[in-house]
Amino acid sequence: MLNVHTLGVVGCSFQHVQNEQQIKFKQGLLIEQFKRIGKVAIAEIWEPLTGPHWGYRRKARMGVKYVAKKGRVLVGFRERRNQFLAEMESCKVMHPIVGEKLMDLSAMIGQLSIKDKIPQIEVAIGDEDCVLAFRVLEPATDEDKEIMRAFGHQHNISICLQSKGPDTIVPIEGEPELMLTYSLPEQGITFRFKPATFTQVNYEINRQMVSRVMQEMDFNEQDRVLDLFCGLGNFTLPIATKAGHVVGIEVNHAKDNAQFNKLTNVEFFVADLSKDVSDQVWARQKYNKVMLDPSRAGASEVLHNLKKWDPELVMYISCNPSTLARDAGILVNELGYTLVKAGVMDMFPQTGHVESIALFKK
């Protein structure tokens, strides 16, 4: 049976590397990608943002499989390059409320009549609460629900059932619906989110990251700020505590969170930022500072709009150094920006994933 040291097969491929060496390697990769792909040199390297190396992960999608030959249910993550679930007793990068309970989860699911009809579990852990959303291909029986309910009460976990897409996640009958929260204490912001909503997996690094953005962008009441790929408003709302006016694009419950935090100088628009947005109302306005936090695909499609918006500062957060390097090449070599600083953030210790940050100035 696998233990923590052999979990490299399922994505924690850096566990054999010392923590300091992991971050040095990722920083070197970022510098190399900027140079090779973007044809841009990083003038100043930010000090890496670091936090807990274990037990940090608060969002995950775990696989579940009943294996008749083994007479048990496997709960965890898939092996690299195939669809087999690794046999694991614990996951040390996951928050311990779930990471240390994989065997308990396995035993509980093994008691269910639908043990072979649960392909995955959506894990969402907030500041105070933990929700596990079980994807069920067949309805759970009343007896199944009682077994799950008892497990949830015993381990202080809220268990939900998901019959189809993310919108079908509901608590077991009779259990309260939990709205998870995470906070940014330095900015006095609290976010509420649902189990399937995207949030950063590492709260400690996220807080440091937001604080760095706030410090480096030095927002004030004269600023009109555009936050692209805003999601929940992870950057939009803290920025709104300092800037005059903020516009967030590609909304995911951000409006609700703005109201919850009593922020009135912020507005949101839904848009597909991989398409032409030039005719949209918000896109025809001017902004002196722009925030970018795209998916792995990067932000190349939306960058040409910067000519019109003419921001003096652009802050770019990325989970993929190669698309960041490509977009940095566009910003510097085509749009006339200077790369002021860039660096890495240890959002995903023990894994090969690289989270990075770059500041561009007109």
CATH number of the domain to which 115 belongs: 2.40.50.1070
Verify that 147 and 248 share a domain, yes or no. no
Q: What pLDDT does residue 13 have?
A: 63
The candidate with the shortest Cα–Cα distance to 12, out of 92, 87, 69, 68, is 92
- Identify whether 195 is part of a domain: no
pLDDT at position 56 over 90: yes
Verify that 171 and 234 share a domain, yes or no. no
Give the chain's domain count.
2
Q: What pLDDT does residue 50 have?
A: 95
Could you tell me the residue range of the domain that residue 317 belongs to?
10-52+202-361
- Identify whether 220 is part of a domain: yes
Q: What pLDDT does residue 16 have?
A: 62
Verify that 210 and 300 share a domain, yes or no. yes
Verify that 72 and 171 share a domain, yes or no. yes
- Identify whether 182 is part of a domain: no
- Identify whether 81 is part of a domain: yes
Q: Is 319 a catalytic residue?
A: yes
Verify that 15 and 46 share a domain, yes or no. yes
Output the domain CATH number for residue 208: 3.40.50.150
- Distance between CA 209 and CA 187 in Å, rounded? 12
Verify that 73 and 44 share a domain, yes or no. no
- Identify whether 264 is part of a domain: yes
- Distance between CA 97 and CA 325 in Å, rounded? 37
Query: pTM for the complete prediction?
Result: 0.92
Q: What pLDDT does residue 83 have?
A: 74
Verify that 313 and 282 share a domain, yes or no. yes
Verify that 142 and 223 share a domain, yes or no. no
Residues in the chain: 362
Q: What pLDDT does residue 14 have?
A: 65
Question: Which H/E stretch holds residue 258?
Answer: helix 254-260
Domain boundary among 141, 176, 211: 176
- Distance between CA 259 and CA 151 in Å, rounded? 35
**6-20, 81-95, 333-347: least confidently modelled range:** 6-20
Domain boundary among 176, 211, 237: 176
349 near 56, Cβ under 8 Å? yes
Verify that 247 and 125 share a domain, yes or no. no
Tens of pLDDT along 110-130? 999 999 999 999 999 999 999
106 near 121, Cβ under 8 Å? no
Verify that 48 and 132 share a domain, yes or no. no
pLDDT at position 299 over 70: yes
Verify that 139 and 234 share a domain, yes or no. no
- Identify whether 43 is part of a domain: yes
Domain boundary among 176, 192, 210: 176
Annotated active-site residue in 12, 130, 160, 319: 319
- Identify whether 215 is part of a domain: yes
Verify that 214 and 342 share a domain, yes or no. yes
Q: What pLDDT does residue 4 have?
A: 33
- Identify whether 192 is part of a domain: no
The mean pLDDT of 141-156, rounded to a whole number, is 97
pLDDT at position 79 over 90: no
pLDDT band at 15 (very low <50, low <70, confident <90, very high): low
The candidate with the shortest Cα–Cα distance to 169, out of 182, 156, 160, 158, is 160
The candidate with the shortest Cα–Cα distance to 180, out of 165, 195, 161, is 195
**79-88, 160-169, 211-220: least confidently modelled range:** 79-88
